[in-house]
Amino acid sequence: MFSKLKEDIATVKKRDPAARSTLEILLLYPGLKAIRSYRKAHWCYEHRLFFLARYISQRAVRRTGVEIHPAAKIGRRVFIDHGAGVVIGETAEVGDDVTIYQGVTLGGTGKDTGKRHPTIGNHVMIGSGAKVLGPFKVGDHSKIASGAVVLEEIPAHSTAVGVPARVVKLYGERIDMQDDDDLDQVNIPDPVEQELAKLRSEIEELKQLVKKG
């Protein structure tokens, strides 16, 4: 238990440049508090103490603004930054070394039964306000841009942007994601904007050909 707490504190120090001390992280970071409360609630849930599990999780919502269902499965070194408005559903699974920003929802569409929520792979970054809805997987080392609404599976080593989210695939080239890159929510290419820019360039070339002709 204490080894996991030390690991969680080290994770915050590594990924949040504003973190100044261990005491500050331990006492003042809502994301860390939410993860700690989740672990207690999950233990209760696995031991069929369902009411106590939900009591702990709902108390954590009031204290942190983060709602994690006790039945969800959360891996190691998960960093919830700021935390306000984060919701993680009952059948959601989150892998190791995942970064989740404020306003993220790992939810269902209301149409599925059984496994209703997404499975998030390892080393995934989910940007502010993103919604990942449905029982599919977001592959390892993927990025979900801020504000994206993801409704289908995301391959490993890819990015997803837009509403609904569109995938950018780098065929034959692995994305070498450094630590700093994992926290970049802004510099993610928009494939639609790229295609529009290409079309504008081609139209301009055609105009020049017409003038010459």
Residue predicted with more confidence, 185 or 136: 136
Angstrom CA distances, 213 to 61, 156, 201, 202, 204, stand at 68, 48, 19, 16, 14
pLDDT of residue 187: 56
Q: Read off the DSSP letter of residue 145.
A: -
The rounded mean pLDDT for the chain is 86
Confidence of residue 179 (pLDDT cuts 50, 70, 90): very low
Q: Of all helices (H) and strands (E), which one includes residue 99?
A: strand 99-100
The predicted model scores a pTM of 0.76
Using one digit for the tens of pLDDT, what is the confidence trace for 20-46?
Answer: 899 998 998 999 999 999 999 999 999
pLDDT at position 172, please? Answer: 37
C-alpha closest to that of 79 among 14, 147, 166:
14
Q: Shortest CA distance to 86 belongs to which of 63, 108, 61?
A: 61
Q: Is the dihedral of CA 88, 12, 130, 93 positive or negative?
A: negative
Q: Percentage of the chain with pLDDT > 70?
A: 86
Q: Return d(Cα 92, Cα 71) in angstroms, integer.
A: 8
Please report the pLDDT score of residue 174 as a whole number. 41
CATH no. for 2-212: 2.160.10.10
Per-position b or e across 68-88, b if 16+ CB within 10 A of its CB: bbbbbebeebbbbbbbeebbb
* pLDDT band for position 184 (cuts 50, 70, 90): low
Domain parsing of the chain, residue ranges: 2-212
Round to whole Å and give the CA distance between 100 and 81. 6
Phi and psi at residue 87, to the nearest 5°: -130, 130
Of 23 and 174, the structure prediction assigns the larger pLDDT to 23
pLDDT digits (tens, 9 = 90+) for 135-155: 999 999 999 999 999 999 999
**Lowest-confidence segment of 150-154, 155-159, 204-208 by average pLDDT:** 204-208
Joined tokens for residue 96:
């190791």
